Amino acid sequence: MNKLITYLILVVSFCSACNRPTNVRKTDSLPPIYPDYTNITIPVNIAPLNFLLREGITSSEISVQGTHLSFTLYQNEKVQFSMKRWKHFLESEVGNKVTVQITAKSNGEWISYAPFYWTIVPEKIDPYLSYRLIEPGYEVWNTIQLCERNVETFRERVLADNNLTDGTCMNCHIYGNQDASLSMFHLRGSNGGTILNRNGELRKINTKADGQISPAIYGNFHPSGKYAVFSTNTIIPEFHAYRNERLEVYDTESDLIVLDLESNKVFSSPLLSGKENLETFPVFSADGKTLYFCSAPAVALPDSIQTLKYNLCSIAFHETNGSFGTQIDTLFHALEHNKSACHPKTSPDGRYLLFTIADYGTFPIWHQETDLQMIDLHTGRLDSLAIVNSDRSDTYHSWSSNSRWFVFASKRDDGLYGKPYFSYVDKQGTVHKPFVLPQRDPTKYDDMLKSFNIPELSKGQVPFGAGDIEKIHKNVPAESVSNR
């Protein structure tokens, strides 16, 4: 009886709202949907791809046809899928290519648009995503939050809120091995420090040892969890009128350090410090035997900012005694490509290295030309990722634990607000068209005035929340570190 009532309600509401005639104009154009979810590859565990229909559409019929299951929705310009039906459909159609056909009423005319496709792959994406929500300004710090979103559902929670920490700036949250039991972020200000989470136990560490340029800035965990590597920088933000960059951020000096998280001892190498070169954005390889980083010869700043181009480099690292190799190798030569490299991230399977390129410098978020590139570490092949990149900034990326997915922040919509996009990397190394993180209400991106900075994927839920960060900020003194 309930099923019959539901069916009648759907039919009546569709007929009264749509009043669809039998004569429908066909077009070869794809439907005007936002976000662009046309012809994409999606994981079997992604939340419903709710979307909007633009261009004056007021009524719609959405037919989703798979190999085993099919269904039709009758809605208006806002298309939202039932969570239960969506999950059942994806699980039934895993490994298949499904067809989506939209017929809609726009300006009094019914139009049947060209179909598009969703390929559902069995390789799951890590279910949790953390990011910093921040206004894309230069001096606004009073509404920064670190958040965690379940990408299988629409549940979001706050991990840290600077309204609870005296309005201090908070840097983005990163994981070790995509594992929620090992993570950290920097909490700035007089009561700040690096907040380290190990199995839910929180520590606050003052990461500045004697002789360092600054406390830790950009960091990454060693896969063993014993070490963390950081840059230590003097960072200068400046405005300029060159093209559309708006704000330039550069280092006048920068070195690399490694922190032993068990002994609170800091160490480095002469090859990774000194005034001749600027080293930054360190990250360990999947096996922990190599340290990747970016390095540029020091130039006069800010006058020579456009000549500041960073190479992508590597050096051996020995976990047993915490020592470095004796030579630096270069994977990406900045002058050869006439580009500057930053933000290297290695895939957990050790196969790929994903990084960002821009015309110059090391702060690409306001550079429209910023793109992602990927090196196959087995073959040395460089992939320009043409299907991934847009004509706006694409950067701030991280991998899923199975190395089949990566997430990145893109400003492709308007050049101002970064949003998290996912791309699939198949077993042959082919990267597929990206799609944005789905939202329960598809109007959210139209109404939201914040960027999703440094999206990071995790296999599990972080074992702390904003209240825990407030307590450690107010009540726990920062541990000191010393040179080894």
Residues 10-53: pLDDT tens digits?
333 334 344 556 789 999 999 999 999 999 999 999 999 999 99
Query: Coil, strand, or helix at residue 167?
Result: coil
- Residue found by looking up tokens 């597929």 in the block: 432
- Residue found by looking up tokens 């559309």 in the block: 244
Distance CA 203, CA 18 (A): 58
Whether residue 38 sits in one domain with residue 139: no
Whether residue 87 sits in one domain with residue 220: no
Whether residue 312 sits in one domain with residue 432: yes
| 190-204, 357-371, 432-446: least confident range | 357-371
pLDDT digits (tens, 9 = 90+) for 55-86: 999 999 999 999 999 999 999 999 999 999 99
Cβ burial of 191 (10 Å; 0-12, 13-18, 19+) is middle
Decide if 172 is inside a domain: yes
Whether residue 344 sits in one domain with residue 244: yes
Domain span at residue 26 reads: 19-121
Whether residue 429 sits in one domain with residue 406: yes
pLDDT digits (tens, 9 = 90+) for 237-251: 766 555 555 667 778
Q: In this predicted structure, what is the pLDDT of residue 222?
A: 98
Q: In this predicted structure, what is the pLDDT of residue 381?
A: 96
- Tell me how far apart the terminal alpha carbons of the chain are, to the nearest angstrom: 75
Q: What is the mean pLDDT of residues 429-436?
A: 98
Q: In this predicted structure, what is the pLDDT of residue 373?
A: 98
Instruction: Let me know: does 55 contact 445? Beta carbons within 8 Å.
Output: no
Q: In this predicted structure, what is the pLDDT of residue 300?
A: 86
Q: In this predicted structure, what is the pLDDT of residue 246?
A: 62
Decide if 221 is inside a domain: yes
Instruction: Let me know: does 132 contact 173? Beta carbons within 8 Å.
Output: yes
7 vs 49, higher pLDDT: 49
H/E stretch holding 156: strand 156-161
Amino acid at 162: N
The answer for residues whose C-beta is within 8 angstroms of residue 45's C-beta and 6 or more apart is 90, 124, 125, 127, 151, 152
Query: Where residue 304 falls among pLDDT bands split at 50, 70, 90?
Result: confident
Percent of the chain, pLDDT > 90? 80
Cβ burial of 461 (10 Å; 0-12, 13-18, 19+) is middle
- Residue found by looking up tokens 């992602």 in the block: 372
Of 63, 91, 121, the domain-final residue: 121
pLDDT digits (tens, 9 = 90+) for 378-405: 999 999 999 999 999 999 999 999 999 9
Q: In this predicted structure, what is the pLDDT of residue 6?
A: 38
CA dihedral 376, 409, 245, 299 (to 10 degrees): -40
Q: What is the mean pLDDT of residues 212-233?
A: 95
Closest by Cα among 101, 98, 100 to 90:
98
Instruction: Let me know: does 137 contact 153? Beta carbons within 8 Å.
Output: no
Q: Which CATH number is 108's domain given?
A: 2.60.40
Q: In this predicted structure, what is the pLDDT of residue 240?
A: 57
Q: Which CATH number is 359's domain given?
A: 2.120.10.30
Decide if 277 is inside a domain: yes
Q: What is the mean pLDDT of residues 405-423?
A: 95
Whether residue 167 sits in one domain with residue 101: no
Q: What is the mean pLDDT of residues 281-293?
A: 98
**Which one-letter DSSP state was computed for residue 450?**
-
Amino acid at 349: D
Q: What tokens were used for 23? A: 């004569």
Q: In this predicted structure, what is the pLDDT of residue 18?
A: 47
Q: In this predicted structure, what is the pLDDT of residue 96?
A: 98
Say whether pLDDT at 138 is over 80: no
| 132-136, 296-300, 396-400, 425-429: least confident range | 132-136
Residue 332, Cβ neighbours under 10 Å: how many? Answer: 21
Whether residue 171 sits in one domain with residue 108: no
Instruction: Considering only CA atoms, give the Rg of the chain.
Output: 24
Q: How many domains does the chain have?
A: 2
Distance CA 455, CA 172 (A): 8
| 140-144, 278-282, 339-343, 374-378: least confident range | 140-144
Rounded to the nearest integer, the mean pLDDT of the chain is 91
Whether residue 391 sits in one domain with residue 318: yes
Whether residue 191 sits in one domain with residue 106: no
462 vs 8, higher pLDDT: 462
Distance CA 393, CA 280 (A): 20
Say whether pLDDT at 137 is over 70: no
Q: In this predicted structure, what is the pLDDT of residue 13?
A: 38
Whether residue 244 sits in one domain with residue 109: no
Whether residue 397 sits in one domain with residue 325: yes
Whether residue 132 sits in one domain with residue 78: no
